[in-house]
């Protein structure tokens, strides 16, 4: 038995004893040090602490994180690319460094890729320190593959043995216990709760990888495979998808689907290329105006694509000289025969910012400086971006409420929340101003 196997076995026994004591005490988890005999925790006894990030705004230390995407888009490759940076202690793809103090270990649970011809070559191509990367193949004392939640003590022992700060579970469905019905919310939450507590105890980032389902919802929270409890247990969610503005089909986008602990970060574009050792590797290109919602919208037909392309060209032309009052943009669009619905979608696709002027409170539109060049290239390709969500935090055009869940466009093309779209008299009423919204310069 290897030194790692012994450490895992001892860790499994130790963690199981801790878990048994926790159940006996009835304190329910990591706050047990503050719990009274009745299981209550007084918040005056809880010491506040800052959120710590492995990758700022994207992957949280001490939490469960989810990476969703269709097969073949490079989810596993992207995870290994991040793992390589963790082992080197370098900056992440957007230049951020996170809160790790230096190089750290990585623990992999992989059910789909071969170690010799896929995982090791990809890590080499990404420049990983492979002496810091370990794969948990079995549970230490036997040849059984690890399962969740039964193998949490074994996984915890392995994390401590190798000094891991990133744990990748690829894919999560392959490691859920046979007793866990992945489509049932209660089953999934009970299975992942011990995983989340383990992440919190050890301060590690757990990244679980998941395939998308075959639905057609544009709400990314409902597109991951299995129960919504999986993304519910995560504090941060990411999505990988093809860039609909790239006619070659080679560009991918990494977008945020959920961000409980920070504002949602800008999406990032990347390509997959072949390295010198013939393995695939990630090449990051920079920011993207797309959001997770725009990436999940179904492709438009030819006529709709043409209309949207014309609207993008119109907006790029109107805003090329600087900010223009929103009412003037809409007036010119009507004269050009562009519907307000199509105008809103073009605005989202181009990354146009909406902001209220300080001196008179009137809304104006402008092209975000660090997105203008990318938007112009996309417009020159004359390809369809049929996303309907604005890149800014979107609000209902009538009541100003934040647009979450299954919001829709009204008959006149304005975005409406579920409450307002159910009231035809309100939805039909004209508005002269855009709703207040917080504008983040990305």
What is the predicted pLDDT for the residue at 335? 79
Query: What is the spatial distance between Cα 10 and Cα 59, in angstroms, rounded to a whole number?
Result: 29
What is the predicted pLDDT for the residue at 408? 55
CA 282 to chain centre: 17
pLDDT, tens digit, for every residue of 167-176? 999 999 999 9
What is the predicted pLDDT for the residue at 339? 82
Label residue 398 by pLDDT band (50, 70, 90).
low
Same CATH fold, 298-427 and 50-295?
A: no
Give the other-Cβ count within 10 Å of 4's Cβ.
Answer: 15
Task: Give the burial class of 119: count Cβ atoms within 10 A of its Cβ; 0-12 exposed, 13-18 middle, 19 or more buried.
Answer: buried
At 318 the three-state DSSP class reads helix
Label residue 361 by pLDDT band (50, 70, 90).
confident
Instruction: Please give the average per-residue pLDDT across 312-340, as a whole number.
Output: 87
What is the predicted pLDDT for the residue at 131? 98
CATH 1.10.287 assigned to 298-427: no
11 — phi, psi (to 5°)? -65, -40
266 — phi, psi (to 5°)? -65, 145
Domain residue ranges in the chain: 50-295, 298-427
Query: What is the spatial distance between Cα 81 and Cα 235, in angstroms, rounded to a whole number?
Result: 21
HSE value, Cβ hemisphere, 13 Å, CA-based, for 150: 12
Q: Average pLDDT of the chain?
A: 80
**Beta carbons within 8 Å of 170's beta carbon, 6+ residues apart:** 75, 76, 79, 108, 109, 110, 111, 112, 113, 208, 209
What is the predicted pLDDT for the residue at 410? 55
What is the predicted pLDDT for the residue at 435? 40
Helix axes 369-380, 302-319, angle to 10 degrees: 140
pLDDT, tens digit, for every residue of 58-89? 999 999 999 999 999 999 999 999 999 999 99
Picking from 207, 143, 105, the residue whose alpha carbon sits closest to that of residue 1 is 143
Instruction: Please give the average per-residue pLDDT across 303-314, as a whole number.
Output: 80
- Predicted confidence (pLDDT) at residue 107 exceeds the cutoff of 90: yes
Question: Under a CB-based contact definition with an 8 Å cutoff, are residues 211 and 40 in contact?
Answer: no
The second-level CATH assignment, the architecture, of 50-295 is 3-Layer(aba) Sandwich (3.40)
Query: Higher model confidence: residue 122 or residue 385?
Result: 122
Lowest-confidence region among 20-29, 30-39, 346-355:
20-29
Q: In the chain, pLDDT over 70 holds for what percent of residues?
A: 73
- Predicted confidence (pLDDT) at residue 395 exceeds the cutoff of 70: no
Residue 439's alpha-carbon distances to 368, 391, 394, 435, 436, in angstroms, are 11, 9, 10, 12, 9
260 — phi, psi (to 5°)? -75, -25
Label residue 20 by pLDDT band (50, 70, 90).
very low
What is the predicted pLDDT for the residue at 97? 85
- Predicted confidence (pLDDT) at residue 419 exceeds the cutoff of 60: no
Assessment of whether the complete model's pTM goes beyond 0.85: no
- Predicted confidence (pLDDT) at residue 329 exceeds the cutoff of 60: yes
Lowest-confidence region among 200-209, 270-279, 322-331:
322-331
**Beta carbons within 8 Å of 302's beta carbon, 6+ residues apart:** none
Q: Which of 1-15, 224-238, 284-298 has the highest mean pLDDT?
A: 224-238
């Amino acid at each position: 038995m290897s030194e790692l196997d012994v450490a895992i076995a001892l860790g499994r026994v130790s963690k199981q004893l801790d878990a048994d004591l926790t159940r006996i005490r009835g304190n329910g988890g990591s706050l047990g040090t503050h719990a009274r005999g009745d299981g209550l925790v007084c918040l005056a006894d809880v010491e506040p602490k800052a959120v710590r990030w492995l990758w700022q705004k994207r992957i949280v230390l001490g939490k469960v994180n989810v990476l969703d995407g269709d097969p073949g888009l490079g989810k596993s490759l992207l995870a290994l690319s991040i793992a390589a940076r963790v082992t080197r202690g370098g900056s992440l793809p957007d230049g951020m460094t996170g809160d790790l103090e230096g190089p750290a270990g990585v623990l992999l649970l992989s059910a789909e890729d071969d170690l010799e011809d896929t995982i090791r070559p990809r890590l080499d191509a990404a420049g990983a320190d492979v002496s810091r990367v370990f794969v948990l193949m079995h549970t230490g004392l036997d040849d059984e593959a690890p399962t969740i939640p039964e193998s949490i003590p074994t996984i915890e022992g392995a994390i401590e043995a190798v000094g891991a700060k990133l744990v990748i579970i690829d894919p999560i469905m392959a490691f859920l216990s046979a007793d866990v019905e992945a489509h049932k919310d209660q089953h999934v939450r009970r299975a992942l709760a011990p995983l989340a507590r383990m992440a919190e105890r050890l301060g590690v980032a757990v990244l679980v990888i998941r395939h998308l389902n075959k639905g057609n919802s544009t709400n990314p929270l409902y597109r991951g495979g299995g129960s919504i409890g999986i993304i519910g247990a995560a504090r941060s969610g990411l999505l990988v998808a093809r860039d609909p503005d790239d006619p070659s089909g080679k560009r991918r986008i990494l977008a945020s689907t959920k961000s409980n602990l920070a504002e949602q970060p800008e999406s990032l574009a990347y390509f997959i290329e072949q390295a010198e050792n013939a393995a695939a590797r990630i090449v990051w290109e920079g920011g993207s105006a797309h959001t997770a919602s725009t990436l999940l919208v179904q492709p438009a037909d030819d006529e709709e694509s043409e209309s949207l392309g014309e609207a993008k060209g119109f907006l790029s032309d109107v805003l090329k000289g600087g900010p223009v009052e929103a009412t003037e943009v809409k007036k010119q669009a009507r004269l050009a025969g562009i519907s307000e619905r199509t105008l809103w979608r073009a605005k989202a696709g181009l990354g146009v910012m909406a902001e209220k002027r300080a001196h008179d409170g009137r809304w104006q539109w402008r092209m975000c400086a660090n997105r203008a060049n990318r938007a112009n290239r996309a417009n020159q390709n004359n390809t369809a971006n049929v996303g309907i969500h604005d890149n800014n935090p979107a609000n209902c055009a009538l009541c100003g409420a934040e647009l979450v869940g299954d919001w829709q466009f009204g008959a006149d093309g304005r975005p409406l929340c579920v409450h307002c779209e159910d009231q035809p008299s309100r939805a039909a009423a004209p508005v002269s101003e855009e709703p207040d919204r917080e504008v983040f310069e990305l």
